[in-house]
Structure 1
């Protein structure tokens, strides 16, 4: 017996608390004691975050397969001010088809109890109430499913596993014509085509914007081509008219571009495989052989269909001439960096519009609360917005104006741009000639898009489930200014040397994949850049020494980590430990934006968990 070996201790899971209360439980509140005997998976998410939405989709199969033993609980932990509003959380839970209980935690109380640092984070609690795993980012569900299977066998033999129905109670459906519509398109006929996102359909409305002409899609979440009544989508969003009879649809959760024949209603697939793109996958090639990642909007620019690829913070394009797709701008790093397309950074580009002269592609870069554009030569510029953590509602000169998570842009005839300023419930306008931002309308409810119709602008009020027609005023209406910073508390760190450790432990039954070189990658930067005296840039080591500038009082450390692992044993009957000739491989990745305050009493080490505590927790307090 080796008495010097470090001891592992089991860490009791902190209680679940949240001032907003519980959703999807039939108005009942729950404690961890109520869930004892079940395997509990906490999903710390916020509804603005595309990675969080990916995890919601990853969890669906696991929830269904282990419905009698596993309880998934979403802990909604807001970034933006709007996301702390209870009704906004209620709307998001329905909008994204969340079929498990959700705890609304607007003050981040449970987030702090579990020492969470990133959206999304998954925490696994065993049937006896102890934390057994924690994973930041997406791509971990395969490892969690393996752990769940092991826990089921072990705790059933021990007698502590309790099977049965979970606490989820489905809300009553609402009888509205549209349900959380995403985008609208004015058709050559004068009718409107609307992506009815939550119902997984496209809806054609008459010119009044209310009367339903037809529905396209079965209304069931699926991926199927065919005639209008059997074709299927999964949370469709963006729409673009390719020619007089063809519409391109951004089929967001199917990670695909679809083609709608307006004459027949038939749907086919233009691009994508139905699988989500991961680091290392091809970034160009035949359109139906290349994976995409949450395409959110589409626009025809310079002869190609440009794609706001929100899932990987890039712009791609589909070329109808040769039926291919390729990356046009963005590195997959999340942030706000201008310059040549290959060097630019985006953060969930979500809305696209082409200027009347065809020389600019405007885009809503939602997570940086920014309005940006791309020139014909591919160079990226920013008109409004400063970064990931500054947002609000403020008119005036573009360099000091503020937006809050805009999702849509609309090019206006005079060369200005209407911005669907979603989380401010407002329609804003940026005028390139004056460099000014003004407010056109307020008291909208989560506007996600707008389309011109004669002298009017028709706004998609997503959270009011309708189209709203407004007359474009000659002058913008000015409103009181409000500025915000992200609600997350800053981590106090010492000036000078700071040890950054990204903790990654390959899940049980997996090992690091080194067949093609290093299996890990770490990228570090800072806002402002002067915060880092050294340590920025990319490398393959998940640990790094940073040197912080003592003259910068506060800022944000941007950390992006990736690790690849492969199965070491077959999942289909081979003895444990046997060689697997064709191992399944998995990519684990996460971006952190860590607000820091530099102080003499701060920590000299910053640990970030990518994946760890598989099986038992290290001796630590969450």
Structure 2
């Protein structure tokens, strides 16, 4: 459904969908109370369906902060945590994530996805706005919806004021004191010359250099408060920094800094001079990439959640694990440029030429030298959302992407053996060991795994590591950032014998959508925010791209078009699959007297697990913004 001139309040009264009462296992940030929608009548309630594995969900948490402050007396935000992975269903893991990401509004722990089902949610993240009378008035999937919510609230708050149904008053938020630890949720670790270790202390928004023992703090770089200021070590600031890359000496001498830092939540790359700890911004605008060009001058090119970085000579620069849009970027420090190195922005698992490959939240990078057996220099990386270990290697025609371990968006577990049968669970880090094998920070399994390229075998080196998120080698030993233990660990003693674990395969708890084999109508529901209309001044304002896994599931309907509704033909004889859907719509202020009206681009990608059944639905609606009226 597309419309540019529907009055929101009229539409809301027409829909009149009563909001179901959220239900789950427990509540966080409520001081032991159980919030109920019936007790929140008189307030707008915003349900944020999220999972802490999902980088897009983390973006939304940050996007909502200014809206929550602006409407502090009219709006109550409730996070509904709907886990994708088994580890996310652990209540202690959720409590740690709530602290790590500074979530201070109430959070419902819903491991069985009961509330997800009640609200017919189909994507992480999804936002549902409920009015003071308890009716759903707006739904939106993905990120970038804050301005639309602001406009809707700006229209509905005065209306409910006039009707006497709005009751103002700021809600009390529960504050939890932070424990005293040197590190708080460290994410990555980098070995420096001389044996010292540089650690990204993400929740303290700083970098910490330790002596070789990993315990003696030598210096802290950054104020410890969230920010993006350049300058000397004691004045610079970061926002949840991640991976770090040491530049070759010849490059460092030319650019004036030694280490490139992925400043994740600031969507920046920062340069660190080791001699004095000075910090300078070297790439990114500070705004998150949406759909603008992602190649150009480094200072004018937007990034999106750079999670890790590493220097890779065959690429000629610093490769960036761009978790936020499922690509790998390339930063050239000397040319001061950023280009897309690999990926299409479609979330999934597909190998092939670098510019055609699908990734799913790449989160850790490591370089392996060429081998005597003839293997070229490889860039290893982990794709968190497909629980995959993959690599890039140079070829005569450019670069190719290959997968060592991993099956797709919804398969994970802890199982060793031949790589084709092995399983990981949301790995975030990777390192190359001195013998050329690959160590994997198997984050949600709390394990260190090993992949042997020569044999294609996967084994387990250590278990019981608290969310290992990054690793490096120091004097032949593997040093790991054990994130939720808030410290560095050496969990793999020299000479340890690998173990084989025959763990079971697991699949995401999210229910598959039952659709019919044969013809199905896929419709993306989008309504421009109040006061805006679709922008068709320069051609079609909408775009829809569809593909599938397996590829042969989609007989007709694959590819790119400009309509947000499309006839699909799904193959007979295939029981399960995933539809990959990317939609976008451009809308501008509906004011003919303004020469340059304010415009915005709404974009969302879905990986929709489907089960094909002859009795399934022949219509598949996906709500990008608005209300589905059918």
TM-score when scaled to structure 1? 0.94
Aligned to 2:529: 507
1:47-80 Cα offsets, whole Å, 9 max, x none, are: 1111111111111111112212211111110111
Superposition pairs for residues 246-257 of structure 1, below 5 Å?
A: 246-257=258-269
Aligned to 2:244: 239
Superposition pairs for residues 278-289 of structure 1, below 5 Å?
A: 278-279=290-291, 281-289=292-300
> 1:541: how far off?
1.2
Aligned to 1:128: 133
Aligned to 2:7: none
CA contact (8 A) 2:406 2:423 kept: yes
1:30-55 Cα offsets, whole Å, 9 max, x none, are: 10122221111111111111111111
Aligned residues: 602
Aligned to 2:493: 471
Alpha-carbon distance in structure 2 between the residues aligned to 1:580 and 1:480: 65
Aligned to 2:18: 12
Alpha-carbon distance in structure 1 between the residues aligned to 2:27 and 2:403: 40
Aligned to 1:330: 343
CA contact (8 A) 1:356 1:412 kept: no
1:601 pairs with 2:615: yes
1:399-431 Cα offsets, whole Å, 9 max, x none, are: 111111100110112221100000111000111
1:58 pairs with 2:63: yes
1:529 pairs with 2:551: yes
Aligned to 1:563: 585
1:224-278 Cα offsets, whole Å, 9 max, x none, are: 1111111111110001111466111000010000011111111100101101111
State the secondary structure of the residue aligned to 1:151. Answer: helix
1:390 pairs with 2:411: yes
CA contact (8 A) 1:568 1:579 kept: no
Alpha-carbon distance in structure 2 between the residues aligned to 1:282 and 1:9: 38
Alpha-carbon distance in structure 2 between the residues aligned to 1:532 and 1:372: 26
Aligned to 1:81: 86
Aligned to 1:268: 280
State the secondary structure of the residue aligned to 2:237. Answer: coil
Alpha-carbon distance in structure 1 between the residues aligned to 2:205 and 2:154: 32
Alpha-carbon distance in structure 2 between the residues aligned to 1:50 and 1:206: 32
Aligned to 2:5: none
Alpha-carbon distance in structure 2 between the residues aligned to 1:495 and 1:286: 47
CA contact (8 A) 2:28 2:109 kept: yes
Alpha-carbon distance in structure 2 between the residues aligned to 1:306 and 1:484: 32
1:485 pairs with 2:507: yes
CA contact (8 A) 2:15 2:137 kept: no
> 1:619: how far off?
5.5
State the secondary structure of the residue aligned to 2:97. Answer: helix
CA contact (8 A) 1:122 1:135 kept: yes
Aligned to 1:552: 574
Of 587, 590, 595, 2:601 maps to: 587
Aligned to 2:301: 290
TM-score when scaled to structure 2? 0.93
Greater displacement, 244-253 / 191-200: 244-253
Superposition pairs for residues 64-463 of structure 1, below 5 Å?
A: 64-243=69-248, 246-279=258-291, 281-302=292-313, 303-357=316-370, 359-376=377-394, 377-463=398-484
Describe the shift of the 1:9–1:271 C-alpha distance in structure 2 as closer, same or farther (beyond 3 A).
closer
Q: Specify every segment of 5 or more residues in structure 1 that has no aligned partner in the other structure, as ranges.
A: 570-577
CA contact (8 A) 2:387 2:423 kept: yes
State the secondary structure of the residue aligned to 1:367. Answer: coil
1:443-467 Cα offsets, whole Å, 9 max, x none, are: 1111001111123211111011111
1:259-318 Cα offsets, whole Å, 9 max, x none, are: 111111111001011011111x12221111111110000000013011001111111111
Alpha-carbon distance in structure 1 between the residues aligned to 2:599 and 2:140: 17
Alpha-carbon distance in structure 2 between the residues aligned to 1:338 and 1:128: 50
Aligned to 1:541: 563
Alpha-carbon distance in structure 2 between the residues aligned to 1:45 and 1:164: 26
Alpha-carbon distance in structure 2 between the residues aligned to 1:514 and 1:218: 47
Alpha-carbon distance in structure 2 between the residues aligned to 1:600 and 1:286: 52
> 1:437: how far off?
0.6
> 1:474: how far off?
4.9
Alpha-carbon distance in structure 2 between the residues aligned to 1:473 and 1:81: 31
State the secondary structure of the residue aligned to 2:40. Answer: coil
CA contact (8 A) 2:433 2:478 kept: no
Aligned to 1:575: none
CA contact (8 A) 1:498 1:548 kept: yes
State the secondary structure of the residue aligned to 1:481. Answer: strand
1:496-515 Cα offsets, whole Å, 9 max, x none, are: 11111111111111111223
> 1:87: how far off?
1.0
State the secondary structure of the residue aligned to 1:541. Answer: coil
> 1:472: how far off?
3.9
State the secondary structure of the residue aligned to 1:172. Answer: coil
Q: Specify every segment of 5 or more residues in structure 2 that has no aligned partner in the other structure, as ranges.
A: 1-9, 250-256, 371-375
Aligned CA RMSD, in angstroms, stands at: 1.6
State the secondary structure of the residue aligned to 1:87. Answer: helix
Alpha-carbon distance in structure 1 between the residues aligned to 2:584 and 2:629: 25
State the secondary structure of the residue aligned to 2:235. Answer: coil
CA contact (8 A) 2:270 2:280 kept: yes
Alpha-carbon distance in structure 1 between the residues aligned to 2:31 and 2:272: 39
State the secondary structure of the residue aligned to 1:34. Answer: helix
1:122-160 Cα offsets, whole Å, 9 max, x none, are: 111111211110011111110101111222211122222
> 1:550: how far off?
2.1
Alpha-carbon distance in structure 2 between the residues aligned to 1:230 and 1:592: 41
State the secondary structure of the residue aligned to 2:502. Answer: coil
State the secondary structure of the residue aligned to 2:533. Answer: strand
Alpha-carbon distance in structure 2 between the residues aligned to 1:49 and 1:510: 30
> 1:99: how far off?
2.2
> 1:101: how far off?
1.2
State the secondary structure of the residue aligned to 1:609. Answer: strand
CA contact (8 A) 1:23 1:101 kept: yes
Alpha-carbon distance in structure 1 between the residues aligned to 2:15 and 2:62: 33
Alpha-carbon distance in structure 1 between the residues aligned to 2:53 and 2:226: 21
> 1:495: how far off?
1.9
State the secondary structure of the residue aligned to 1:293. Answer: coil
Alpha-carbon distance in structure 1 between the residues aligned to 2:545 and 2:79: 29
Greater displacement, 253-262 / 581-590: 581-590
